[in-house]
């Protein structure tokens, strides 16, 4: 049960996560101070198998929807979809919210906004920049992640200070030589940080993440052993990984083809801005690929998380218009598994293996390192910043708890570790942070052109249709004479049994309907409920399944009455 938070206490800083806590995705934090609002990140969550037909899942904007005029800015920590993907949907509610971020982050989000016919207000910042937005004093800190130009943000008000790390790791040998600025974190720590909101994704993993540079030799080896075409799947924003693929392809005399709209768009932006370095003549268009022999080509595509509609999923299903997998082809999944996606990924791998491909992934080769700090790196962060309170963010519940335990190990009082969920309201007051209540914070589904119209109840119906089938029944009754005149006729869809097996339940339905009408029930809606209950109960008992039941009862007495009224 939700406990409504108390009225905002003047002089406190209020933090409300609208996504990202208890899940990997749709990251968004609301920071409030004396009537002003600062937003940090606005990402999407990608749907799972049990959410059929859903395109994206957004943060729940209801908490701020009526106060969007109070929003001073939206800070974007980096350009991954789970941090920027929902920005266009927020800007459709108020298009002039200033977006603050690094050059690459803003370029990625700008391209996304243009697809929605939006022209956002952008404020570009770099590490160690300071900016005042309303009552919020912001300072940005360079951090290393699996995408260039990632930033943490320090937010200071008269009520106290907090740091949101965004996604972070402490790689000492990143490809772009832009390491996490521990010196700046140390300075901020000396000034005093009340609350550290820190990435929890790898909090359960001991030790340290391997440097990004360890990937090069593994990719080089895989390319050297490949005898036919190579397909590499990664995130469409993973510039560092794409750079390593381009370098390996160039070394082995292969051409690279970017596949998929987001991959083509993002790599074009990264190359134009100087974040991706492509040797001349290495990259070719997809329409030129047919002229290149198999042992001289690399396809760089999306789908590393097993998404059925992404390029790799369609290739595995044999549905891709331009790319097929044949025996002795090499497929490389150059990313780690996002928790919850395991089933989809292994499904794609099995299909590719069945087609004769050699599949290389994190399990059998060192072709990916995570973009998130392991336990050892988180210990360093806590010890360098020395916050009074900690609030683990970005992770499932087990990750948040593991991160909280790391904070306690470094000397933070257990009572000062805030384990919050989406929708929890956290107040920072006199250096102490605590959950004071919760606000409604459900999933908002994007389904085609509809946003937020699809309900969990309708999703459940889709799941039933997809797994249990569909049974409809049609009967004509005469409520005046309390008789079933015709039917019930039973129609089956995606149900294995033959319609003749439903003969017994037909008789039961007739008896139930006649008993109800003789008892005075003339309302067809109530008669339909009786038919649904009788048919559904029989199917559950006899066939041991729960298909969707759609009953239709037509009353000829109503039709006669209507005809008499028209003649009158």
Q: Which CATH number goes with the domain that contains 490?
A: 3.10.20.580
**Residue 121 corresponds to which tokens in the numbers above?**
């207000």
Residues 201 and 236 in one domain: no
Say if residue 66 is exposed, middle or buried (CB neighbours under 10 Å; 0-12, 13-18, 19+): exposed
* Residue 407 covered by a domain: yes
Q: How many angstroms separate the CA atoms of 363 and 432, rounded? A: 43
Q: How many angstroms separate the CA atoms of 204 and 402, rounded? A: 6
**So what's the pLDDT on residue 503?**
78
What is the crossing angle of helices 215-225 and 239-251, to 10°? 40
Q: CB of 142 within 8 A of CB of 151?
A: yes
- List the one residue out of 123, 170, 122, 128 whose CA is nearest residue 153: 128
- Tell which of 315, 332, 360 closes a domain: 360
**So what's the pLDDT on residue 368?**
81
**So what's the pLDDT on residue 254?**
97
Q: CB of 306 within 8 A of CB of 344?
A: yes
In terms of C-beta distances under 8 Å and separation of at least 24 residues, what long-range contacts does 539-546 make, across chains too?
539/471, 539/505, 542/501, 542/505, 543/495, 543/497, 545/468, 545/469, 546/464, 546/468
Residues 502 and 407 in one domain: no
**So what's the pLDDT on residue 459?**
63
* Residue 97 covered by a domain: yes
Q: CB of 220 within 8 A of CB of 251?
A: yes
pLDDT per residue as tens, the chain (568 positions) = 679 999 999 989 999 999 999 998 899 999 999 999 999 999 998 776 666 567 788 999 999 999 999 999 999 999 999 999 999 999 999 999 999 999 999 999 999 999 999 999 999 999 999 999 999 999 999 999 999 999 999 999 999 999 999 999 999 999 999 999 999 999 999 999 999 999 999 999 999 999 999 898 999 999 999 999 999 999 888 899 999 999 999 999 999 999 988 999 999 999 999 999 999 999 999 999 989 999 999 999 988 887 767 889 899 999 898 999 999 999 999 877 776 677 788 889 899 999 999 999 877 777 788 899 999 999 999 999 999 999 999 999 999 999 999 999 999 999 999 999 999 999 999 999 999 999 999 888 877 666 766 667 666 665 555 556 678 889 898 888 888 888 888 887 766 566 667 777 888 888 889 888 888 888 888 899 998 888 888 888 877 777 778 888 888 876 555 555 555 5
Residues 218 and 203 in one domain: no
* Residue 461 covered by a domain: no
Full-model pTM: 0.81
Residues 188 and 43 in one domain: yes
Residues 26 and 164 in one domain: yes
* Residue 151 covered by a domain: yes
Residues 226 and 319 in one domain: yes
Residues 95 and 176 in one domain: yes
Residues 320 and 377 in one domain: no
**So what's the pLDDT on residue 1?**
65
**Residue 22 corresponds to which tokens in the numbers above?**
């208890």
Instruction: Provide the edge-to-edge strand list for the sheet that holds 450-451.
Output: 56-58, 444-447, 450-451
Q: How many angstroms separate the CA atoms of 508 and 337, rounded? A: 51
CA distances (Å), origin 299, targets 175, 230, 325, 359:
22, 6, 11, 14
**So what's the pLDDT on residue 492?**
74
Q: CB of 299 within 8 A of CB of 323?
A: yes
Q: How many angstroms separate the CA atoms of 375 and 391, rounded? A: 15
Tell me the residue range of the domain where 91 lies.
13-207+370-447
- List the one residue out of 273, 274, 216, 275 whose CA is nearest residue 250: 216
User: CA quadruple 94, 95, 98, 100: dihedral positive or negative?
Assistant: positive
Cα first-last separation, the chain: 57
Q: What is the 3-state secondary structure (H, E, C) of 293-335?
A: CHHHEEEEECCCCCCCCCHHHHHHCCCCCCCCCCCCCEEEECC
Q: CB of 125 within 8 A of CB of 151?
A: yes
Residues 97 and 242 in one domain: no
Residues 192 and 126 in one domain: yes
> What H or E segment, with its residue span, contains residue 548?
strand 548-555
Alpha helices (H) in 341-431, listed in sequence order: 342-354, 375-385, 397-409
* Residue 108 covered by a domain: yes
**So what's the pLDDT on residue 420?**
96
Q: How many domains does the chain have?
A: 3
* Residue 342 covered by a domain: yes
Residues 434 and 487 in one domain: no
* Residue 242 covered by a domain: yes
Q: Which CATH number goes with the domain that contains 251?
A: 3.40.50.10710
* Residue 1 covered by a domain: no
Q: Locate tokens 């309302």: which residue?
A: 523
**So what's the pLDDT on residue 522?**
86
- List the one residue out of 536, 559, 443 whose CA is nearest residue 86: 443
- Tell which of 335, 360, 385 closes a domain: 360
- List the one residue out of 200, 238, 201, 191 whose CA is nearest residue 219: 238
Q: How many angstroms separate the CA atoms of 406 and 376, rounded? A: 9
Q: Which CATH number goes with the domain that contains 417?
A: 3.60.15.10
- Tell which of 313, 333, 360 closes a domain: 360
User: CA quadruple 107, 112, 117, 120: dihedral positive or negative?
Assistant: negative
Residues 180 and 222 in one domain: no
């Amino acid at each position: 049960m939700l406990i409504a938070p108390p009225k905002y206490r003047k002089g406190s800083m209020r933090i409300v996560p609208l996504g990202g806590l208890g899940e990997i995705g749709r990251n968004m934090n609301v920071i409030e101070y004396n009537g002003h609002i600062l937003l940090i990140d606005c990402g999407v969550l990608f749907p799972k198998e049990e959410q059929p037909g859903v395109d994206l899942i957004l943060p729940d904007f209801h908490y701020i929807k009526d106060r969007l005029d109070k929003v001073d800015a939206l800070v974007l920590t980096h350009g991954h979809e789970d941090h920027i993907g929902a920005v266009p949907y927020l800007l459709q509610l108020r298009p002039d919210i200033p977006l603050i971020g690094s050059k690459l982050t803003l370029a990625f989000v700008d391209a996304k906004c243009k697809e929605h016919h939006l022209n956002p207000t952008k404020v570009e910042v770099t590490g160690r920049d300071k900016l005042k937005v309303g009552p919020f004093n912001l300072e940005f800190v360079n951090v290393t992640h699996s995408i260039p130009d990632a930033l943490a943000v320090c937010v200071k008000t008269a009520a106290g200070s907090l740091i949101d790390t965004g996604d972070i790791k402490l790689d000492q040998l990143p490809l772009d030589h832009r390491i996490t600025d521990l010196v700046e974190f140390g300075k901020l720590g000396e000034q005093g940080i009340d609350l550290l909101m820190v990435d929890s994704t790898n909090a359960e993993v001991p030790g340290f993440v391997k440097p990004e540079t360890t990937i090069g030799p593994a990719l080089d080896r895989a390319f050297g052993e490949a005898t036919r075409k190579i397909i590499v799947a990664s995130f469409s924003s993973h510039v560092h990984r794409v750079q390593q693929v381009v370098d390996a392809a160039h070394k082995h005399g292969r051409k690279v083809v970017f596949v998929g709209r987001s991959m083509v768009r993002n790599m074009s932006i990264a190359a134009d801005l100087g974040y991706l370095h492509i040797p001349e003549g290495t990259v070719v268009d997809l329409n030129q690929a047919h002229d290149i022999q198999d042992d001289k080509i690399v396809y760089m595509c999306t789908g590393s998380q097993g998404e059925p509609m992404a390029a790799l999923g369609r290739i595995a299903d044999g549905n891709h218009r331009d790319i097929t997998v044949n025996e002795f082809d090499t497929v490389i999944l150059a990313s780690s598994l996002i928790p919850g996606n395991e089933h989809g990924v292994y499904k794609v791998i099995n299909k590719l293996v069945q087609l004769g491909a050699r599949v290389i992934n994190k399990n059998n080769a060192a072709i990916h390192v995570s973009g998130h700090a392991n336990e050892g790196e988180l210990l360093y962060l806590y010890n360098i910043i020395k916050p009074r309170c900690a609030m683990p963010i970005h992770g499932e519940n087990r990750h948040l708890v593991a991160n909280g335990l790391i904070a306690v190990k470094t000397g933070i009082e257990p009572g000062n570790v805030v384990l919050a969920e989406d929708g929890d309201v956290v107040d920072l007051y006199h250096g102490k942070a605590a959950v004071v209540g919760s606000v409604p914070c459900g999933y908002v589904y994007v389904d085609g052109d509809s946003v937020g119209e699809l309900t969990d109840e309708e999703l459940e119906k889709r799941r039933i249709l997809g797994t249990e089938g569909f049974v409809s029944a049609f009967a004509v009754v005469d409520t005046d004479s309390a008789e079933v005149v015709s039917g019930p006729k039973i129609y089956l869809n995606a149900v294995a049994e033959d319609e003749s097996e439903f003969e017994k339940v037909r008789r039961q339905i007739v008896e139930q309907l006649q008993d109800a009408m003789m008892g005075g029930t003339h309302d067809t809606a109530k008669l339909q409920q009786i038919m649904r209950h009788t048919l559904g109960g029989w199917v559950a008992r006899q066939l041991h399944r729960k298909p969707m039941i759609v009953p239709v009862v037509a009353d000829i007495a109503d039709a006669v009455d209507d005809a008499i009224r028209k003649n009158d």
